[in-house]
Amino acid sequence: MVTCYPKQVMRKLRVGDRVRFRFGGRVATGDVIEDRGQIASKGGQLVRVKLETADPDDANEIEVAARDVASFEHSDTKRTRRGALRLATSH
């Protein structure tokens, strides 16, 4: 079960953002892999998160409401004209 922190995310989460939230009595860390849109309760944003695990072959994913995210870091992704995401490169 996901439990919410007192703080709420004010900005929209994006694919590639790194997030932290309470999950099963511990703090889970992961990366947003899909923006599911405004389909959480009361019209909130829902995102799919790939959880960080000790075993990289163990791919755990979960859907989390953005309001349940305690903290996040925006990624360096940019959207192309066709809507595809690409990583911004620093040269």
CATH of region 2-77: 2.30.30
Mean of all residue pLDDT scores within the chain: 76
pLDDT score at 38: 92
pLDDT digits (tens, 9 = 90+) for 26-56: 888 999 999 999 999 888 999 999 998 888 7
Q: Which residue has the higher pLDDT, 59 or 51?
A: 51
Domain-by-domain residue ranges, the chain? 2-77
Q: Which residues contact 37 (CB under 8 A, 6 or more apart)?
A: 45, 46
* Residue 84 confidence (pLDDT) above 60: no
Are 20 and 32 spatial neighbours (Cβ–Cβ below 8 Å)?
no
pLDDT score at 45: 93
Cα dihedral sign, 50-51-53-59: negative
Are 49 and 31 spatial neighbours (Cβ–Cβ below 8 Å)?
yes
pLDDT score at 2: 54
